[in-house]
Structure 1
């Protein structure tokens, strides 16, 4: 039963009953219902964001979401490790491999340039984590491009290495006559006394004194260009082109063991010591040419003699004596 309320009427000196208006009652009822609705919505919102009313499906989705976040974090770490490993390879490529093979390094802008053109990541926009996904995709694409550039660079290095092997094999790096077969190193490179005119003139090679028939060896890989007596004063001689600007000449031979056009390897016997042409005694006159200019053969004997033997040979070669041709 509702309470009855009164008020005191001072004019009539009596208490009178308060009769509430219907409109006010309706307003109060609506206010109560609105408050109850707001309170209920608030309680629902709070409960909905707790695990109290989670369904099995929502729990499964939550676990899947956490697993995806963990996998994404692991993937990001792997991408970072890949990038660090690639950076190390790029550094070795520029500062070791390319330096060794005298090749220009690849600049950083070329290696890590972005992928231009149309928006490649438009399909990834509009999601909750779009920025994160797009940045990761860009990083992966950048690494893929850098890997392609590095792969091409390593192909170039492989080619340079093969060329380096050919170069090292082509350089005339041994004595043309073995030490045990030598009587003496008769004359070196430079100004010497001519054995016939006694006039001081430039001697273009080195003379190795040995008995007739002593084997003569190719000092580097190459192709026999000549095996004849076409050069005046050289008698029977052989010219070998080695590539990379190198050519060697072997003169005063008693006989040949190769012919023009034949390919030879370092250490192959190409002929035998003699005294043909303008020669005072059996010996081998040996020359090394680089880019059309004669150079001192003494600088190329690192492949067949010891340091002690080299010092002795250099001492003998530098004596300004008489040549044998």
Structure 2
């Protein structure tokens, strides 16, 4: 529905139809994320698993983060098909809920794991000797298991009530776009407020660690010299985490709160232009948040100095295989 028609019929249910650009935008972006994100995260997981340095706390978080990103990009073809069909879900309602659940599991696993990674880097900066002598593997496994348990438990109601998330609109089946039942709206509001709280906690941890690491780096050079490289790399990593939070997650959570209140009709605004603008911006920030699945591997360049070299060697290896498999041209064959 275009803006002029929406202005004539400004009702709650028509709010969903005011951002038709989202179908082409999302199908293109998700296709790009799948093409880039799948091989990059596979390469990252292989590197982390095959690393000879043993299991460390931060490595546990990185492997878990990569698995979450892989689950997200693996199911992207379903969403690409949905947006390519201009919002028509042709699969089962369970698959719709499964993809939606994976979206939230990936998002908040990433938020919490990035917060833990930044905290672990702060410990490495503030207590380098103690951290080097201790292997907090148990803490890493316990916190990772706790995060997965929390996010999966929060997503279970979406899977159990999968029929609530498919709504027939004309000849199309909308997935995660229409919510008309009052009891469903209340549950969704509580869920989204809990997600916002989770983001605020994670963001607060990242900001605090960034400030603390900056303070450590401001100490006199003679005190930092024994571990200067470690501390500088830690700061660059935490800064990268902060950029991911600000670029991917912060815009979404600011806009999503307003959008949720409008969509669930808890905020009964009669300003049609305002409601349409919020819906348009929400589609954009939703796409921005999805980009985190290909930004997360960037962190590995700061956390593991050999990762960039590994990717380079892997790319060269694939290139050599393609060259070897290529059949020689007739002019390249020489008689002995």
Task: Give the TM-score normalised by structure 1.
Answer: 0.23
Bigger radius of gyration among the two? 1
Task: Give the TM-score normalised by structure 2.
Answer: 0.22
Q: Which has the higher contact order (CA 8 A, sep 6+)?
A: 2
Structure holding more strand per residue: 1
